[in-house]
Amino acid sequence: MSEAQGALHSLVAEFDDVDGVSAAARAVRDAGYKAFDVYSPFPIHGIERSMGLRATRLPWLVLACGLTGTVLALFFQWWTNGHDYAFKISGKPLFGVPANIPITFEFTVLLAAFGAFFGMFVLNRLPEHHNPLFENERFRRATDDGFFLAIEARDAQFHERATRELLQSLTKHTVVACHESGESRALPVWVRASMAGAGALALVPLAAIVAARYRDSTQAPFHLIKDMDSQTRYRAQAANPFFADGRAQRPDVAGTVEFDRFRTDPALLTGRAGEAFVDQIPLSVTAELMQRGRTRFAVYCTPCHGGAGYGDGLVAQRAATLQEQAFVPPASLHDPLVRARPAGQIFDTIRNGVRSMPAYGRQMSIEDSWAIVAFVRALQRSQNASVEDVPDAERGRLGTR
């Protein structure tokens, strides 16, 4: 026993066997004591009845934890896979109970096990690393082969002399008094200080993350593991001695179809000025452009519209032969309505398609599309010309027949 003794904590009686301590527990219970406990190296069968203990609430706690697990797991699986990030896998339903059973089961067991494990220790008020009973040398046998019964001083019926007499009548060992330790049960100052210090230090990384989250920076993000963020490749605008011109970024190969080059002329890009279509081809119409238009027209337009633009290409002819009801015949480019269309509208039709005509904007460049417009214009002129349109010098070669 330590020198500095505090208040009386309990009176402790020692027993040699299960029978002795069980009988004593019954006697103490019958004497009306409540705040007493039996200590033994293993659970004694039936001691809770001898002591008059009620059944523990632990099973209800475990049930509640388990049900919480079931509900949480089901809800979470529905919310993640069926709602927040819904994606179809192998045609399975987004939320179907059979596929969610395994995880629901595992989570139910996990939370119920937490309930049993932590619930047991919390209800037992453990961990409690210090208890006045530990001051007693003999009491260490409680985890070996000793059996003890302690009546605590806080019991309403506790009376030092009478209680001692009761206990002494039950055991042949001497009943000993157990005192609260005179020392403070608080942890030493240095332990508390270092715990507080460690706690404060643990907050530093968190604070740094929070601070970084809400602050702008010109620095590149810091990557602990590079993954694919950092690769051995040249960036745009960088120099590369491998090529003769020293540029890492290579110019477009001839004939590249552009999608998103930075150009601003709306008439050139869309054939429109504001809402209205332009009637002028925004490129200078040269013999080369006309020639380019002729070949592009032959490639892309002839199959449906025909060589002369009457809407009698091979596709249209075959559809007519088969009497395809759903086929929308291609327009004749010489229809007065089509002829009246501004150049910008023809360009728009080529780029974006109309009715069953597909869009060609992804297959040919802006320039080629305008070249076709120029050729179509020439075609329209050629099929709707009068003698006056023929230059005087050439007119003789026409009308003589």
Partner 1 sequence: MTASATTKVRLDEPYHRPLLIEGAEDLASVTNRVCGVVERPKPPRAWYIAITISGSMTLMLGAMVVYLISTGVGVWGNNAPAFWGWDIVNFVFWVGIAHAGTLISAILFLLRQKWRTSINRAAEAMTLFAVCCAGMYPAVHVGRIWVAYWLFPVPNQMQMWPNFRSPLLWDVFAVSTYATVSALFWFMGLVPDLATLRDRATTKLKRVLYGFFALGWRGSARHWQRFERAYLLLAALATPLVLSVHSVVSFDFAVSQVSGWHTTIFPPYFVAGAIFSGFAMVVTVMVPARELFGLKELVTLRHLENMNKVILATGSMVGLAYATEFFIAWYGGNPYERFTFVNRAFGPYAWAYWIMIFCNVVVPQFFWSKRIRTNLWLMVVVAILVNVGMWFERFVIIVTSLARTYLPSSWGYFKPTWVDVCTFAGTIGLFFTLFLLFCRFLPMVAIAEVKTVLPAAHAHKENGHE
Within 105-124, the residues that bind partner 1 by CB under 8 A are: 105-107, 109-110, 112-114, 116-117, 119-121, 123-124
Cα–Cα distance measured from residue 73 to residue 65, given in angstroms and rounded to the nearest whole number:
12
Three-state SS for 360?
A: coil
**For residues 5-24, which are near partner 1 according to CB under 8 A?**
17-19, 22-23
Q: Which residues pair with 179 in a beta bridge?
A: 8
**For residues 211-240, which are near partner 1 according to CB under 8 A?**
224-225, 227
Helices 343-352/366-383 angle, 10° precision? 130
Say if CB 177 and CB 170 are below 8 A apart.
no
Say if CB 290 and CB 377 are below 8 A apart.
no
Contacts of 382 (CB under 8 A, 6+ apart): none
Least separation in angstroms between residue 313's CB and partner 1 is: 44
Least separation in angstroms between residue 75's CB and partner 1 is: 12
Residue from 1, 6, 30, 49 in contact with partner 1 (CB under 8 A): 49
Cα–Cα distance measured from residue 300 to residue 365, given in angstroms and rounded to the nearest whole number:
13
50 binds partner 1 (CB under 8 A): yes
Q: Which stretch binds partner 1 (CB under 8 A): 89-97, 258-266, 293-301, 367-375?
A: 89-97
Alpha carbon 158 to its chain centroid, in Å, reads 62
Residue 310 has a CB neighbour count (10 Å cut-off) of 17
Cα–Cα distance measured from residue 365 to residue 283, given in angstroms and rounded to the nearest whole number:
13
Least separation in angstroms between residue 266's CB and partner 1 is: 38
- Compare residues 105 and 243 and give the one whose CB is closer to partner 1: 105
103 binds partner 1 (CB under 8 A): yes
Residue from 84, 252, 388, 392 in contact with partner 1 (CB under 8 A): 84
Three-state SS for 61?
A: helix
Q: How many residues bind partner 1 (CB under 8 A)?
A: 75
- Compare residues 10 and 163 and give the one whose CB is closer to partner 1: 10
**For residues 173-202, which are near partner 1 according to CB under 8 A?**
none
- Compare residues 112 and 373 and give the one whose CB is closer to partner 1: 112
Residue from 71, 75, 140, 165 in contact with partner 1 (CB under 8 A): 140
